[in-house]
Structure formats: C-alpha cells, structure tokens
C-alpha cells in the first residue's frame, strides 16, 4: 500500500530531523508499441501511467547524499564528490544505484557535485517492480527532477532523460535506451509519447482511449526479469552485429525493403533479430498514423503482430506472456502484446471497458489451469509526466 504524501513527509522528518524541501513524483510507463527499437535509434510509443514513484528530498549542510525508502530499511550514503570513485570501484549496488546513479550522471552532464548541497532522499513507489513498467525510470526521473530544482541546474526534461539513461547504463549496468525516462518525464494525460530515439524529438500523440471507451489492461505474470541479465545484452549485440553487416550505423537505417538482402547476409538468428527491429519500427509509425487518422480501435492488429514478432523473431516472450496475450484476445481484447524488455514481466491488452472483468477472469482461470503462478491484473490510465507535488521554493 502506498503511503500518503503527509505520511511520506512525516516519515522523512522522523528519519532526518527536518522536513523535506518538497516531494517529486514520476510515473512508470507502459510501452504501447516499439520494443527493443530504442537502443537501435528507432521509434517508440510509450505512455506514462497512473502508478508513480515519489521522492521526498531535503537539503543537508554537508556534501553527502543519503538514500532510503519505504520498501527497504537500509540507508545508503556517499559523499557526492566521491560518487565517481565509488562507481568505478563497483561500490554502488542494489536499488540505491538508481538515485545515486542519477546524482553521478548529473555530474557527468556538467553539474559540479563538489559545490552543490548534500541531500537526503526518501523514496516511495506504487510502480510494480519486475513487471516491465519501468519502476527504475520512475525513480530516476523523480530524483532527477528534484535535483534539477534544488540545485538550480536548469536542465531540460529531455536532458534529464539522458541523465537517467546514463545512470542506468553506467551505474546500474543495464544497456537500455532512452524510452523509459522520456515517457516518465514527458508523458501527458490520455496521450502517448512518440519518440524518435535518434534525434530525441518527442511528440505527444493523443490516444483517445476515454472517448473510445477502451482500457489498457496490464497482466503481470509475476515472473521477474532483469535488464542487466545476459538475454537483453545478447539481443542488443545481435542488433549491432546485424547493422554492421548491412553497412548501417544502426538498424534505424535498415528498412523493410532491405530484409531480403539481410536474409542473404546474416545467419538465421541474427536475421530474425534484425527483422523484429525493422518491422517493429514500421509498426510504430503505422500505429501513430492509425491513431491520428482512425483512432485507437484501429491499432489492434498492430499490437498482435508486435507480440508475434517478439515471440518468434526476437524470442523474448515466455509461456506465461503468450498465454496472457492469447487469452485476452480470445475474450474480447482488440489487441494484446507483451511489453517491456522480455523474459518475464507483463503483457498489455486493449480492452473495451465493458469487457475488462471478463478478460481478467479468463486470464486468471487460464493461468490456474496451466499451473502458473497467479498473475496480477490491473488497468492503467495514460497519465501526466514527472512533477513537483509539494514545496515551491527552488534552492541552491
């Protein structure tokens, strides 16, 4: 259960002896379509959700950063000026690598960590961990926005997204792209963020789910995954190898019309990895076009095709995800697909409001019949991006 904002402030005060300067909030995200395209400089279409991480942050008189959370009693602290050495020595580990990594990454982007005030941070979250909803980016984005305000850095949200990505790549050790942080920082109500991961140009695209009486149902398999594990890194390496063999700087420069040549040049596994990314990029563009021209009822087949591609070409699905997708489709979903990095996590389904309970009941029954761990199902609403929810004064 999430604590209230008042409780979070009280807990912070009890831990530190002083009230926080403010509370900053950032959402998790669901990727509507565009999986494993971000680090290939392609296109993605995520949206921020109404599950959020909040960071109560207060200034200290010294140069120390101390982080704790409502889900872990451990308190971790480092000297801000020593974060670079701590990162190099592999001393920053566990969940605290996300907020500590953000502070380090801000230094890499120009913040002088030897001159800013120390900070205490207390984190609380309702974003499920391990479900593919990017609980990590929610932490990174809430903390980055807080530091940007309190240290008067003046960074844009687009730059803060780069900060979060750098923290995840270099401190956490997950070779992810910039999609998650961009969705968390740039999201808007009932809208998705159409992001060009090469130029980092972002455009808010209205989804129109409310008018069409559609819900996004998340089906969390409760099979945990980790982006830092080998499967993700292997897929990324295959993409890079495929692009190099095609004479391209990234798979962004390979089109659907190039796939026949790719099949001749590449081994079967690398070819299928490439085919997923190339066709997925096209599906993102087609989904944006369909949303603008026809509305959300027109995107179901694209969601379905995305899942098939991830299952067969990229091979990142698991039986639980496949069963959730198939069951949702069989019980009235307009379209469904796994979402996130794969090897576990969640699937999503686009479902008419009136059929949400029907689909949920069917998915739970199917998992029970298959002997799988019971899933967790819930709807999410496309929501606003990161924001400051209490406190107004900007400090240095």
Are residues 164 and 98 in contact, defined by beta-carbon separation less than 8 angstroms? no
Are residues 144 and 150 in contact, defined by beta-carbon separation less than 8 angstroms? no
Are residues 2 and 35 in contact, defined by beta-carbon separation less than 8 angstroms? no
Q: How far apart are CA 16 and CA 85, in angstroms?
A: 26
Residues paired with residue 378 on neighbouring β-strands, in sequence order: 218
Strands (E), 112-153: 118-125
Q: Does residue 307 sit in helix, strand or coil?
A: helix
Q: How far apart are CA 226 and CA 102, in angstroms?
A: 19
How many residues are given for the chain? 396
Q: Residue 203 to residues 50, 193, 206: CA-CA distances in angstroms?
A: 20, 6, 10
* C-alpha R_g of the chain: 21
Are residues 172 and 132 in contact, defined by beta-carbon separation less than 8 angstroms? no
Q: Does residue 111 sit in helix, strand or coil?
A: coil
- Told to judge if 312 belongs to the known catalytic residues of this protein, a careful annotator would answer no
Indicate left, alpha or beta for 119 from its phi (over 0: left) and psi (-120 to 50: alpha).
Answer: beta
Token look-up 């990727």 returns: 31
Are residues 49 and 7 in contact, defined by beta-carbon separation less than 8 angstroms? no
Question: Which residues make Cβ contacts (< 8 Å) with residue 229, sequence separation at least 6?
Answer: 343
Task: Say which of 120, 124, 149, 180 is annotated catalytic.
Answer: 180
Enter the tokens of residue 154.
């003046």
Are residues 328 and 358 in contact, defined by beta-carbon separation less than 8 angstroms? no
Cα angle value 26/118/167 (rounded, 5°): 45
Q: What H or E segment, with its residue span, contains residue 275?
A: helix 268-293
Catalytic site residues? Answer: 180
């Amino acid at each position: 259960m999430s604590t209230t904002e008042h409780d979070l402030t009280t807990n912070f005060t009890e831990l530190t002896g002083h009230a926080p300067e403010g509370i900053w909030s950032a959402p998790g995200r669901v990727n509507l379509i565009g999986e494993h395209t971000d680090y290939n400089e392609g296109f993605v279409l995520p949206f921020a959700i109404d599950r959020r991480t909040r960071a109560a942050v207060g200034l200290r008189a010294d140069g120390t950063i101390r982080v704790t959370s409502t889900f872990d009693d451990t308190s971790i602290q480092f000297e801000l000026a020593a974060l670079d050495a701590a990162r190099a020595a592999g001393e920053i580990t566990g969940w605290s690598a996300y907020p500590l990594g953000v502070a380090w990454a801000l230094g890499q982007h120009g913040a002088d960590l030897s001159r800013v005030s120390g900070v205490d941070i207390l984190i609380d979250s309702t974003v499920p961990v391990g479900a593919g909803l990017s609980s990590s980016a929610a932490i990174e984005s809430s903390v980055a926005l807080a530091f940007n305000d309190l240290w008067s850095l003046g960074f844009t949200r687009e730059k803060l997204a780069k900060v979060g990505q750098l923290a995840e790549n270099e401190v956490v050790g997950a070779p992810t792209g910039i999609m998650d942080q961009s969705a968390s920082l740039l999201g808007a109500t009932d809208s998705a963020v159409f992001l060009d991961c090469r130029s980092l140009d972002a455009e808010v695209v209205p989804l129109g789910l409310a008018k069409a009486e559609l819900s996004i149902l998340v089906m969390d398999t409760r099979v945990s995954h980790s982006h830092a594990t080998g499967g993700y890194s292997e897929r990324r390496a295959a993409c890079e190898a495929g692009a190099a063999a095609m004479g391209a700087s990234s798979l962004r420069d390979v089109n659907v019309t190039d796939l026949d040549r790719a099949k001749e040049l590449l081994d079967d596994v690398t070819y299928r990895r490439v085919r997923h990314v190339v066709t997925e990029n096209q599906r993102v563009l087609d989904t944006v076009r369909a949303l603008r021209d026809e509305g959300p009822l027109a995107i179901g087949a694209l969601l379905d095709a995305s899942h098939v591609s991830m299952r067969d070409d990229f091979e990142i699905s698991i039986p639980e995800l496949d069963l959730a997708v198939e069951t949702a489709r069989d019980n009235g979903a307009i379209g469904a697909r796994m979402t996130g990095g794969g090897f576990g996590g969640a699937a999503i389904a686009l479902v008419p409001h009136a059929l949400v309970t029907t689909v949920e009941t069917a998915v739970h029954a199917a998992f029970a019949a298959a002997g799988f761990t019971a899933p967790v199902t819930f709807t999410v609403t496309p929501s606003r991006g990161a924001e400051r929810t209490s406190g107004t004064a900007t400090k240095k």
